[in-house]
Structure 1
Amino acid sequence: MQIFIRNRTGFLITRSILGLAEAGFIPGAMFTLSMWYTQKDITVRIAIFFFGMFGGTAVGPLIGAGLLKLDGKGGLWGWQWIFLGEAFLKIAHWWPFELTFSVVEGVWTVLVSIALLALLPGGPADGIPQDAEGTTHLDLSTGESSQPKIPMKVVWKTVTNFRKWPHFLATACVFATWSPLTTYTPSIMVSLGFSRISANALAAIGNFITLPVVLLFAWAGGKLRKWGFTVMTAQACYLIALIALRCIQPHVGTWSKFGLWTTANGLAVGYHPVHNAWIQVNSGSPEERSINMA
């Protein structure tokens, strides 16, 4: 619906609605995964889950580069084509209007959500699965199939547990840099002298690097069972990349600047799946784990 934005007020309203709609997805998905996999398995599974998010961030600029070429087609700006997800809008005399959808971006998301509603089991109680060796996958911490109700006293106790605050602060600090970085990387590339279409394509490279980085740290965390050490190592790598970007960028050429930005982008969230698993295994109950995820 963002293609219909005409002013700042419309932008703020649609973005607020989007934020409200998507806010519960990741903590809900993490809690669902924790009901199906053991501590040994959960870290890599979380990394695979985030492949969707990080992979989408990688593919998005490439799709955007293509969709920007439609600028002016069908009476729409290039950015409107991106939000529309290659849905073609033709308005003849204001009414009737014809909508023909191609399954990309926004439309694809809607289709996947319908498939999840139809196919995803509510929990292990709806049929506990077994892997190839016949091992039953149960709740992460309790070894039981449980879908608890969460009273407010548990919410308060979890949120006020100061030992968990470093987890929350670390996530806020990293995403406060990574989110705007990925959002504005195409604009950053334009400022370095690349065209809009080239900038979108180049922005995808750092996001693609994220995928093996995430999997590497997730594998290491699960293998070593040293979640804290792995998290801090991954965050240290990102911090070094940011310091190098800050110090070196003013003194190098265009392609070196591109390399610095791409490196920072690629290392930004390598810590995240391991960190997610770390706080899960340190939760004392399914109820606490659910609030920690949120």
Structure 2
Amino acid sequence: MSSHATVRAASVDSAASLAEPLRTLLRSLGQIVLQKHAGTGVCVLAALALCDLRLACAALIGATTANVCALLGRAPFDAIRDGLAGFNGALAGLAAVTFCADSATAFALALLAAAFSAWLGTPLVRALSRANLAVYSAPCLAATWLWLALGAGGERAVAAASPMPAAVNATDAFAGLLSGLAQTVFASGALPGLVLLAGIAWSSRRAAAYALGGAALASALEYVLGAPGASFAAGLCGFNGALAALTASSLGPRAAICATMLAAALHLAAVRLGLPAMTAPFALAGWGVHLAWRLRPPRQPNHPPVR
């Protein structure tokens, strides 16, 4: 074999060896919106970069850290390959950059929280699998609530948002709806939301329809029940509904509607109590609806009347 052929073969082998870890990383980002698809992960990364490059960096750092920790902890290889070991790390990194005041501290917290979420994820997966339930974002929530309770991130200044008018026009409503999709990955804005919707549709058009419907229903419910217009515009009313609809979509439209309404109610209650709920309403709604549907009595077949 010539030297040129040897170099080409080595290049192909090197590219192949790098392709699978890259796909695993992208699937980790896609799993944030419950999609095991590298293309969805590309769109998640693009949506984050459109909103804030720091968010994109935090997601990559968190997912990589969690995947490495899961690998060292001998987590099931299938779970790592499918992105299930890395998405909570990505979420933990995003939460750190979102809620921490100082950038250097935020990225340090992103590493620590991602590692903690990976360490916590394996026993949580085992415990919840006994009830045939998914872990969702529970490891990220535990890691983030821990450092928030310890005051590790300091005080984050939040810019005051201008309130929306009492009557929301169609343009404002559509922008708020898309921003609700963006908020599933801690981003904001209509364009990041549109890119994220395209990413979900790349994996499944059915999933995209459920996510959009869940965000619309939850946003409408919370707005009607008194959520501020600024929260509606920022997408804070819709993201838990979008995720809840996605997680219950396998049970059918009625289950997705119930999960969305429950997530919206839990999120609104948490906001009024001043609690940092993040994605806890969606996780609780998902567990609740899956358990409730499992306990439903079986449907009786429709027999024709006896003559």
Where on the TM-score scale, by shorter chain, does this alignment land: which range? under 0.3
Structure of greater Rg: 1
TM-score under structure 1 length normalisation: 0.26
